[in-house]
């Protein structure tokens, strides 16, 4: 349904999105997880035709976001981070206006607006001026605006921001219900949010994709991965070779040195296998000097550390 290939976006000299590729299948709910400023919003803006990409392509329902932007825009519902609302309109008029500009047939505009208000719990505030609504209601009007034309694809930028815990649960429930029928991309910086709503997660950091996986696998990887840093006195090639011979080691990378006698290595091993004693034995038995050894986090974990891992209170 959504195909993104080698997409990049530069703002002057800064790179906001750096060569990312991913796919979203029909009916899937994809989570976009990353700290603030990771490039989530920029990617979404490219997908919704608000910004053109600097390089690469993106297709929604088979249409290129740049060449067939009008066709793409007919098929997407987009909730930006700040819901785009006209503060002097009533909720009903705003949704009817949205139905009009999003190509809903004139006869159905009223009923679509009505059905969307029902779905998003806006019945009590139908005739209220949007500017007078609370933050939570405004967010729901924003969501209703994205849903009013019953789009194939929904792109939601931080849909639960500013809501109280009860509303957050409601909105997540709503999103889950919408999945299957609609293809959804939602962005968030809250870890538990993706595990509740999404089938697949793209972790994005500094414009690059750090990982794509199911929420369950990601959590497993996060908890069970091992990474050890060792500093060894000895020739690089020989030491590296010796470390690779240890059964559970999956990857070795040279961190520092390279020409001198002291060299640093990052050693990654299989999940839940502690290779430290084997590593120490292998190094010392081969006659190299073991200068330092410590466990370090996976780079994925570094990203996760910047994410909010707990639900906000209130």
CB closer to another protein out of 84 and 224: 84
Residue list 114-173, contact with another protein (CB under 8 A): 145
Stretch that binds another protein, among 18-26, 41-49, 164-172, 176-184 (CB under 8 A): 41-49
Question: What order do you get walking across the sheet with 2-11 strand by strand?
Answer: 14-24, 2-11, 55-60, 63-64
| Window 76-115: contact mask with another protein (x via CB under 8 A) | x-x-x-xxxxxxxx---x---xx-xxxx--x---------
Measured CA to CA, the distance from residue 296 to residue 253 in angstroms comes to 13
Least distance to another protein from the beta carbon of 65, Å?
Answer: 10
Least distance to another protein from the beta carbon of 47, Å?
Answer: 10
# binding residues, another protein (CB under 8 A): 31
CB closer to another protein out of 37 and 180: 37
CB closer to another protein out of 161 and 280: 161
- β-strands 249-256, 226-233 pairing: unpaired
| Residue 303 engages another protein in binding (rule: CB under 8 A) | no
Select from 206, 171, 165 the least CA-distant residue to 186.
Answer: 171
Q: Helices 91-101 and 135-147 sit at what angle, rounded to 10 degrees?
A: 30
CB closer to another protein out of 9 and 200: 9
Residue list 58-77, contact with another protein (CB under 8 A): 70-71, 73-74, 76
CA 152 to chain centre: 20
CB closer to another protein out of 80 and 215: 80
CB closer to another protein out of 53 and 279: 53
CB closer to another protein out of 103 and 224: 103
Measured CA to CA, the distance from residue 257 to residue 250 in angstroms comes to 22
Least distance to another protein from the beta carbon of 97, Å?
Answer: 5
Copy the structure tokens of residue 243.
């470390």
**H/E run at residue 209:** strand 208-213
What is the distance in angstroms between the CA of the first residue and the CA of the last residue of the chain? 36
- Give contact residues for another protein (rule: CB under 8 A): 11, 45, 48-52, 70-71, 73-74, 76, 78, 80, 82-89, 93, 97-98, 100-103, 106, 145
């Amino acid at each position: 349904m959504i195909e993104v290939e080698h997409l990049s976006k530069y703002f002057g000299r800064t790179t906001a999105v750096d060569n990312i590729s991913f796919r979203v299948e029909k009916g899937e709910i994809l989570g976009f997880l990353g700290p603030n400023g990771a490039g989530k919003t920029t990617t979404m803006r490219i997908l919704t035709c608000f910004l053109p990409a600097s390089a690469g392509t993106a297709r929604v329902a088979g249409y290129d976001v740049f060449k067939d932007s009008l066709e793409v825009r007919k098929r997407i519902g987009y909730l930006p981070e700040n819901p785009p609302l006209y503060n002097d309109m009533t909720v009903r008029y705003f949704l009817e206006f949205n139905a009009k500009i999003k190509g809903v047939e004139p006869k159905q505009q009223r009923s679509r607006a009505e059905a969307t208000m029902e779905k998003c719990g806006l019945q009590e505030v139908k005739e209220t001026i949007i500017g007078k609504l609370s933050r939570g209601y405004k967010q729901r009007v924003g969501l209703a605006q994205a849903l009013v034309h019953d789009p194939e694809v929904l792109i939601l930028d931080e849909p639960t921001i500013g809501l109280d815990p009860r509303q957050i649960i409601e909105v997540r429930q709503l999103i889950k219900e919408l999945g299957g029928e609609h293809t959804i991309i939602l962005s968030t910086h809250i870890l538990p949010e993706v595990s509740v709503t999404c089938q697949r997660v793209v972790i994005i950091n500094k414009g690059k994709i750090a990982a794509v996986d199911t929420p369950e696998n990601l959590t497993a990887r996060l908890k069970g991965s091992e990474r050890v840093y060792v500093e060894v006195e000895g020739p690089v090639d020989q030491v590296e070779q010796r470390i690779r011979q240890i059964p559970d080691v999956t990857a070795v990378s040279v961190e520092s040195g390279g020409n001198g006698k002291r060299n640093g290595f990052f050693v990654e091993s299989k999940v839940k296998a502690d290779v430290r004693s084997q590593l120490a034995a292998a190094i010392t038995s081969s006659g190299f000097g073991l200068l330092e050894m410590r466990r370090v986090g996976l780079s994925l974990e570094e990203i996760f550390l910047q994410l909010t891992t707990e639900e906000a209170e209130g």
